[in-house]
Chains A and B, each alone.
Chain A
Amino acid sequence: MAEAVLELKGIRAGYGSVEVLHEVDLSLRRGSVLAVLGSNGAGKSTLLRVAAGLHPLGSGSVLLDGRRVANWSPDRLARHGLCLIPEGRGVFPRLTVRENLWMSTHLGVTRATAEEIAFARFPRLGERRDQMAGTLSGGEQQMLALARAVIVRPKVLLVDELSMGLAPQLVDSLYDSVRAIAADGVSVLVVEQFARAVLGMADRAAIMVSGRVVHQGTPAEVEEHLSSAYLGG
């Protein structure tokens, strides 16, 4: 069995007195793609936010590269190779495209290199380099958000519902980029509501229902459980 680069063990977390994650266990193997599926409100975003240090961990442990990183600050985690593309638009709306890319250089890339990489991957961004990110279309904003992952080449990439509110074609091309990042050796954890977009690229998959992982396995196995999980959950 391949070694895990990110391990979530017995994660509990919540908002106020309401617990929304009940003992979640997940592990991401080095160099693989793990897809976590779950309907709206299952707790996927909360899980990723906990892993990235944005949300307090109730109990359980998080291991990055075998190191206990629970309660680390998000910036420290980022410096240790964890990259979260958050739900919604992971861009700074009132900064220009170039300024947004400049923000990705905190982890050691030069500004010129960052722009070169980003514009090579997403030529559309190059055409709009001095535009405010808030005025970009939804798909372009997601490209900009993903560009950060392309630039920093993290150890672990967490992607939260890239498809939200976008046309299927666009979603496919965005996931092509994720696939390319993964092919570069980055371990990727994607969460999605709908299987269609991600099961094809995943090495393993899991289903979350109401804050619990109810099934894990190969994409094919998981696909079988999907309808029952969604309807029964």
Chain B
Amino acid sequence: MQQFFSYTVSGLGTAAIYAIAAAGLVLTYTTTGVFNFAHGATSMLGAFTYWEMRFAWHWPAPVALIVCLGVLAPLFGILLERGVMRHLDNSSETTKVVTTISLMLGLLGLSLWLWNPSRSRPFPRFWEGDVLTLAGVRIPYHVVATLAVTLLVALGLWLVLKRTRFGVSMRAVVDDRSLVALNGARPHVISMASWSVGTVLAATAGVLIAPTLKLSALPLTLLVVNAYAAAVMGKLKNLPLTFLGALVLGLATEYFRGYQSSLPFSDKFVPGFLASVPVIVLLLVLVLGRSPLRGHAITRVRETVQRPTWAGSAGMAVGVVLVAALLSDVIPRTDLFTLGRVWGLGIIALSLIPVVGYGGQLSLCQMSFAGVGMVMVQHLGSQGNPLALVAAIVVPALLGMIVALPSFRLSGIYFALSTAAFAVLMDRWIFLLPRFRFLGLDWDIFNGGSLDLRRTRFFGLSMEGNRVFFIYGAAVFALVSVAVVGIRRSNYGQRLLALKDSPAACATLGMNIKVAKLGVFAVSAGLAGLGGALYGQGMQSATTESVQFVSSLTLLMVMVVAGLSSPGAALFAGVFLGFGLNNVIFGKIADFVPDRLGWAEHFFDKLGSNTLIVVGLAGLSLGRHPDGFVATRLRPRWDQILARPHALLGIGGTLVVAYLVRIAGLINNWLFAIAAIIVLTVVPAAIVPRPKHSAEHGLADDGEEVMIRAGARGH
């Protein structure tokens, strides 16, 4: 009994922190319509900032708390509203999700930049060791304090929302934002207040929970997934229910932790399972919840990108293979090894095109499918057996259909959340399972955390060598990209696009939406699995880190920036992430910076090693353009160049000259590669004026969005 009470006490402490985090999330979501994926990153940043002031600069705790939570956090919230969220007012739900995910990655990158992750940062609890004994139950001071803070937060929120005009206005915004403006209140001021309060709550949760976790960026950022569960129990709008959800979650987690040793098959499954409890609860609530949860608006609205032609995509496919063959000649073997992963990543990026680009279903777990593909190669492909590749497609495809099931009832942000929950479940539990026996078989899913992947042998033809693997990878990428274009051009592709445009209309047209959704998930998960297999074989060994949730988000963001429906964008994503383009470009810039500008050199070096921050910033600035820069910026210019033979000749000629200069040994590979990139991207941009119609497109696009949204509300 004593034990039960002490588990209850720690459960209440955990619940209190979840409640604070979830309350902030719900508050900003209801008053602004933006579900903030960066909420956890904000908590993390708050915790780090507090740590810096308290333990690095040795400020007294109260001062550090006031500065961090009372000054910096609200300011950050205001900055967020002015700089980012305000511009999302009339955008689609996808754009909102994309923006906050970019923000999350950017903040994660920022913290890695500022706080070297390899240093350990002890973060003692408040009143470490002090205990209050109440009726024989020992309650640590820090739990008492946490509970007190939560009560204050609850009471404060209640008072503000019920008893002040400002709070009533915040609730009014939830009902009807434009009517609030008609009343003469300033909606932006209200949003700004929401974001400040939301940020303060996030940071408070971060400071409170950091001592129980380690002060480590990623776990703290993902902590909020636990809060998602509580928030979803409150249907993302009901604060009392959210608090109740947090209570259930906190208690469940701590009882599990407390009693884990007395569970029948304890030590093997439980540790990861424990961390997954909130995610499992989230999935259950999403999938079994009483009423179907529908997001505000449908996802991306209209495709302004032209239908890809067979000739164009075949040309690109052949070009990719040829260029790969050429490159494999000039690039040293060791670099070729590093480059081997470009194609696998490129294929995983391609796998996003059918599901997100065509189908409009936000999948945040593509890397988890890739991880399953890798696992298949590990277990079935030890002798380079090609059948392993088949399994690497089929098993993720089946899994993909399971992941797609919630989409029958969920849409928009809720479905995105369910895919996120799946990814985190794989990360925290399935991929981390130790060796175990089940159904009379030995299972060791991720091989103890590191896979050892053999490259395939096709009927005696080995893909082992770095050069042959590089060309083979390019060929598979080319094939898949043609297949993806094939999907787009088929009847099925048309139906997917229609589904994205207006699900309601599709239903009335008698289209079987469920089959379409299952199908597209199966296809894209299968492709992701294949990509994962090649990605893993490229690296020859893989850790769970390479397939985790954040990698899925990073890949998605690169694709969003480049263009979610073009294979060219997938190529870019593969090269950018697989080749470490970021590192190369900014590293080179750092090299060129004159020595006396040491700070600038340092800056570019840091930028080069911090892909997250670059991707985050790019997503924040470009993510609003739904079709990406490859499709909207580069492609139209290329079309114009193709119509001007002399320009084409000039570019081709320059490339040939650069290649010859390289062969002659006058420049090295890097310089050649950079020159080629400049010739292919910057030069077209410079010599061809920006196509005029794209601006008009943008406008028409918004309009359509409004129209369809209004229509969707009617259904």
Contacts and interface: CB of A to CB of B under 8 A. Distances in A.
A45 to B, nearest CB: 12
Interface stretch (A15-23, A175-183, A210-218): A15-23
Contact of A17 (B169, B184, B185, B703): B703
Given A16-B700, A86-B179, A78 B172 contact: no
Contact of B183 (A15, A17, A148): A148
Contacts of A78: 181-184
Nearest to B162: A99
Interface in A1-54: 14-18, 52-54
Given A75-B184, A102-B165, A103-B169, A92 B702 contact: no
B158 to A, nearest CB: 14
A102 B168 contact: yes
Contact of B703 (A16, A95, A111, A148): A16
Nearest to A108: B184
Interface residues of B, number: 26
Contacts of A73: 181
A95 B183 contact: no
A196 interface: no
Interface string B490-523: 0000000000000000000000000000000000
Contacts of A15: 703, 706-707
B655 interface: no
A84 B175 contact: no
B409 interface: no
A40 to B, nearest CB: 15
Contacts of B701: 16
B182 A86 contact: yes
A93 B186 contact: no
Interface in B699-714: 699-704, 706-707
Interface in B38-68: none
A206 B88 CA distance: 38
A17 B699 CA distance: 8
Contacts of B168: 95, 99, 102-103
A16 B304 CA distance: 14
A103 B174 CA distance: 13
A53 B179 CA distance: 12
Contact of A54 (B178, B186, B704): B178
B500 to A, nearest CB: 17
A15 B180 CA distance: 23
Given A17-B700, A95-B172, A102-B165, A107 B184 contact: yes
Contact of A103 (B178, B185, B700): B185
Nearest to A16: B703
Nearest to B701: A16
A14 B700 CA distance: 10
A73 B704 CA distance: 22
A225 interface: no
Contact of B175 (A54, A94, A152): A94
Contacts of B174: 94
Contacts of A90: 179, 182
A163 interface: no
A16 B702 contact: yes
B174 to A, nearest CB: 7
Contacts of B706: 15-16
B588 interface: no
Interface in B130-188: 165, 168-169, 171-172, 174-176, 178-187
Contact of A92 (B179, B186, B187, B704): B179
16 contacts: A14-B703, A16-B700, A18-B703, A53-B181, A54-B178, A74-B178, A74-B181, A74-B182, A75-B181, A75-B182, A86-B182, A91-B179, A95-B172, A102-B168, A103-B168, A105-B165
Interface of B: 165, 168-169, 171-172, 174-176, 178-187, 699-704, 706-707
5 smallest A-B Cβ distances: which pairs?
A16-B703, A78-B184, A74-B181, A106-B184, A92-B175
